[in-house]
Amino acid sequence: MTDTKNLTQLGSNVEAPQNPEAAVLETVPFSRGDGPPAIVRFTCPEFTSLCPVTGQPDFAHIVIDYAPDTLLVESKSLKLFMTSFRNHGAFHEECTVMIGRRIIAATKPLWLRIGGYWYPRGGIPIDVFWQTGAPPQGAWLPDTGVAPYRGRG
């Protein structure tokens, strides 16, 4: 049975953090076992942050893949963390990489990649991709499934 006694958010009524810095990413133990590492995917198709210049909302489809070592991200804490960006003003690149770095700091995975598929701002979609290195050998890594932006075409 997974040890969850240190979790403070799961199963509790918790308000969304006001900003990403205030958000707490909680973890649970993970036993990798033998064979190739598992790949865990989180998909956030309705991610929202704020433009740091205009304060207008920006929207993205975020896909996070990581190969856990000994810790998993607890999903409710991840949801609260992702929600905290709704009040956060930063460029697309900063938001995307910040999410990846925070997950790495919390879980110390074998590998992580993140794709931020941002909807057009000023007529130009911006996609941001970041990873910690080469994917683990033998791991099954499916395509993200996010189609490139096509507009009305």
Topology (CATH) of 28-131: GTP Cyclohydrolase I, domain 2 (3.30.1130)
Element (H, E) at 99: helix 92-107
Our answer to whether residue 44 is catalytic in this structure is no
- The overall average pLDDT reported for the chain is 90
- Catalytic residue (one of 3, 44, 51, 143): 51
- Catalytic residue (one of 44, 58, 65, 95): 58
Our answer to whether residue 95 is catalytic in this structure is no
- Tell me: is residue 75 an annotated ligand-binding position: yes
What is the reported pLDDT for 18?
Answer: 82
pLDDT of 7 strictly over 90: no
3-state secondary structure of 146: coil
Contact predicate 152/126, CB 8 Å: no
pLDDT tens-digit series, residues 10-59? 656 778 878 899 999 999 999 988 999 999 999 999 999 999 999 999 99
Does residue 14 or residue 70 have the better pLDDT?
70
Q: Give mean pLDDT, residues 115-143.
A: 93
Separation of first and last alpha carbons in the chain: 51
Q: Give mean pLDDT, residues 95-123.
A: 95
